[in-house]
Amino acid sequence: MNQQSIIEQTVAHVKLTLSDAEGGHDWWHIHRVWKTAQHIATAEHADELVVALGALLHDIADSKFHNGDETVGPRKAREWLVSLGVDEPVILHVENIITHISFKGGNHQQAFKSKELDIVQDADRLDAIGAIGIARAFNYGGFKNRPLHDPGIQPNMNMSKEEYKSNKAPTINHFYEKLLLLKDRMNTETGRRLAMQRHVFMENYLKQFYGEWDAEF
Ligand code: ADP
Ligand code: NI
């Protein structure tokens, strides 16, 4: 099977699999990550088939819905790619991308590294910032019934995770805890440049938000 039809069939498969996924991880998230990853891959001279398949299959099974089992995604991706007769080195690489994409950093040594993983991870992180990132954050906050903002609950207050959650941490706090940190976690030059634009947009958004919140005219 040629690359074009491998990708087309995978698109159809992912659309079907995610047909009732929640808003933050639906087909359109995959579509944006795929297109962004493709754009970065061209600039960074990466293996385009691996990047496309990694992006398309990266959220095929969310561990949150499988009792935290993080092996389901890579396994489902492998089964799918085997059924298409994709070459083993490509399958293994895609599997590794899916296993390692949500690596949180910290003290452990990351076990797998590749340019293609760097690219798909950058594309996934880019979808968490900028205009789309803002929309996804408030969508998530709405789903959890959280307040937009509460000037009495500052980000990173000395509370336990449980306390913080039960206090209904405002969605605005998520900007300081995660979204504004992502620009410094990009792997590729192209990703960093795109992240910088989206970062500036979020900073301007926050300025406007607080101005309206305090009814400053
Ligand atoms: P990933 O896309 O890496 O699986 P998550 O499942 O953690 O990330 O988040 C999906 C989306 O929901 C992202 O856009 C993220 O910013 C947003 N999100 C996650 N946690 C929160 C939170 N506590 N408040 C607001 N938005 C959140
Ligand atoms: Ni994702």
Q: Concatenated DSSP letters for 20-88?
A: T--GGGSHHHHHHHHHHHHHHHHHHT--HHHHHHHHHHTTSS-GGGTTT-TTHHHHHHHHHHHHHT--H
What stretch(es) of the chain map to CATH 1.10.472.50?
A: 1-107
pLDDT in tens, the chain (217 residues): 899 999 999 999 999 999 988 777 899 999 999 999 999 999 999 999 999 999 999 999 876 667 777 789 999 999 999 999 999 999 999 999 999 998 655 556 678 999 999 999 999 999 999 999 999 999 999 999 999 999 988 887 666 777 666 667 999 999 999 999 999 999 999 999 999 999 999 999 999 999 999 998 8
Which residues of the chain form CATH 1.20.58.1910? 128-217
Classify the complex by whether its ipTM is higher than 0.85, answering yes or no: yes
Instruction: Report whether CATH 1.10.760.10 matches the domain 128-217.
Output: no
The rounded Å distance from CA 137 to ligand 1 centre is 6
Residues in contact with ligand 1 by the CB-under-6-Å rule are: 24, 102, 124, 128, 133, 136-137, 140-141, 171, 174
Candidates 98, 146, 161, 174: which one to mutate for ligand 1, based on the most atoms within 8 Å of Cβ? 174
Residue 185 CB partners (closer than 8 Å, separation 6+): 105, 125
What Rg value do the Cα atoms of the chain yield, rounded?
A: 19
Torsion sign (Cα): 101, 64, 129, 103: negative
| 1-107 maps to CATH 3.30.1490.20 | no
